[in-house]
């Protein structure tokens, strides 16, 4: 860590995460190790009782062995855009918590703000949703789902294959440290996966697993596109080809909407804060 920050592993979280990610990619390793064996065993057990217990459950005594570490889940912000009541632009549809974009977090999240956001927005959404009890929305004019000539899927291997592919593409190319080249590769793959899933949906009876997979692949694709469009680094988005933050050009929120022309790529807009 001395090559990344004078405070080594006590550097700010995004710097530590990027340093770990960089080492893993350079060496092709599955994890790095956090080593506290230079401290007396009694001190470790007293100072870190929960970590000590948790690691023991996995067969790692941290007084004798280093702890395998990977960075996780701290490189994504954003979601379905809502107003201050948790309402989306579809009347009657609310989005709260991890799925939503309220604008409270910006490009990064401060510790413990996410749970507070969940509680505040759940409360506000409930207040607003109650109004529909007295004044229900008109019944939807959506036609019933017509399965047409679709067949029953013969096995689940296709869905799990797409899951694996999408997860790997996003982890390797769109994770903590991005680059233009990695993002272009990711886009090529995500376009292909999305196209294949779309075709699969036409041929086979839709199941909750298939729809969930389709949503995951679509969301992954949108993340790749918005990352590619932003030529700077800010908060959780770090692109080594554009490593500096640029407030002059990029102090903006990325919004992606569906293209009204069928088959065309979604439309990306940047909205000033
Ligand atoms: C590693 C990590 C550390 C974090 N640390 C903090 C912190 O210190 N402080 C803080 O404020 N926030 C923290 N967060 C963020 C916070 O935990 C989340 O923002 C919050 O839990 C989101 O709540 P949620 O209800 O929207 O989603 P979730 O907690 O993800 O709940 C969604 C639920 O829906 C269920 N579900 C999914 N699909 C279906 C389905 N098809 N049918 C039925 N159920 C389904 C899931 O099983 C899950 O129980 C952390 C997040 C992570 C990943």
Same domain (yes/no): 54, 33: yes
Residue whose CA is at the smallest distance from ligand 1 atom 33: 98
Question: Is 145 a member of any domain?
Answer: no
pLDDT of residue 143: 85
Is the Cβ–Cβ distance between 253 and 271 less than 8 Å? yes
| The total number of residues written for the chain in this structure | 273
* 112 pocket-lining for ligand 1 (C-beta < 6 Å): yes
* 194 pocket-lining for ligand 1 (C-beta < 6 Å): no
Q: Rounded to the nearest whole angstrom, what is the distance from the C-alpha of residue 115 to the centroid of ligand 1? A: 9
Between CA 34 and CA 14 the distance in angstroms is 17
* 111 pocket-lining for ligand 1 (C-beta < 6 Å): yes
**Among 11-20, 24-33, 230-239, 253-262, whose mean pLDDT is lowest?**
11-20
Which of 115, 116, 207, 214 should be mutated for ligand 1, with most atoms under 8 A from CB?
A: 115
Residues whose CB is less than 8 angstroms from the CB of residue 133 and which lie 6 or more positions away in sequence, other chains included: none
Reference 220, options 256, 271, 177; nearest CA is 256
Same domain (yes/no): 114, 174: no
Q: Residue 58: which domain range?
A: 8-69
The active-site residue, picked from 13, 39, 47, 269, is 13
* 68 pocket-lining for ligand 1 (C-beta < 6 Å): no
Between CA 259 and CA 219 the distance in angstroms is 15
Q: Does 45 participate in catalysis according to the annotation?
A: no
- Among candidate residues 89, 118, 133, the one where a domain is terminated: 133
Same domain (yes/no): 93, 14: no
Mean pLDDT across the chain, nearest whole number? 91
Question: Is 2 a member of any domain?
Answer: no
Question: Is 229 a member of any domain?
Answer: yes
Segment 17-28, tens digit of pLDDT = 888 988 988 898
Question: Is 150 a member of any domain?
Answer: no
Between CA 252 and CA 226 the distance in angstroms is 12
Question: Is 190 a member of any domain?
Answer: yes
Question: Is 169 a member of any domain?
Answer: yes
SS3 content of the chain, % helix, strand, coil (to 5): 45, 10, 45
Q: Which atom of ligand 1 is nearest to the CA of 100?
A: 26
Segment 75-119, tens digit of pLDDT = 678 999 999 999 999 999 999 999 999 999 888 777 778 899 999
The band of 45, judged by pLDDT with boundaries at 50, 70 and 90, is very high
Question: Is 141 a member of any domain?
Answer: no
Segment 132-166, tens digit of pLDDT = 998 888 887 888 888 888 888 777 788 999 999 99
Same domain (yes/no): 176, 259: yes
The stretch 47-58 carries a mean pLDDT of 96
Question: Is 100 a member of any domain?
Answer: yes
- The total number of structural domains that make up the chain: 3
The band of 67, judged by pLDDT with boundaries at 50, 70 and 90, is very high
* pTM for the whole structure: 0.84
């Amino acid at each position: 860590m001395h090559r990344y920050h004078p405070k080594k592993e006590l550097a700010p979280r995004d710097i530590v995460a990027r340093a770990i990610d960089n080492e893993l990619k350079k060496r092709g390793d599955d994890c790095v190790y956090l080593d506290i064996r230079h401290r007396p065993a009694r001190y470790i057990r007293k100072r870190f009782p929960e970590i000590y217990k948790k690691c023991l459950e996995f067969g790692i005594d941290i007084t004798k062995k280093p702890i395998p570490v990977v960075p996780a889940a701290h490189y994504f912000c954003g979601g379905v855009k809502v107003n201050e009541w948790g309402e989306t632009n579809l009347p009657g549809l609310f989005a709260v918590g991890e799925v939503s974009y309220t604008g409270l977090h910006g490009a990064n999240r401060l510790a413990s703000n996410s749970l507070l956001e969940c509680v505040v927005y759940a409360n506000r959404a409930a207040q607003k949703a109650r109004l529909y009890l007295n004044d229900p929305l008109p019944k939807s004019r959506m036609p019933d789902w017509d399965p047409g000539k679709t067949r029953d899927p013969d096995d689940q291997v296709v869905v799990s294959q797409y899951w694996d592919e999408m997860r790997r593409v996003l982890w390797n190319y769109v994770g903590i440290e991005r680059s233009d080249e990695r993002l272009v590769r990711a886009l090529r793959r995500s376009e292909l996966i999305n196209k294949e899933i779309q075709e699969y949906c036409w041929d086979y009876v839709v199941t909750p697993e298939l729809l969930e997979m389709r949503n995951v692949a679509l969301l992954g694709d949108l993340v790749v596109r918005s990352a590619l469009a932003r030529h700077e680094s800010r908060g959780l988005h770090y692109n080594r080809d554009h490593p500096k933050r640029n407030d002059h050009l990029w102090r903006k929120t990325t919004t992606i909407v569906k293209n009204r022309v069928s088959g065309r790529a979604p439309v990306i807009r940047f909205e000033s804060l």
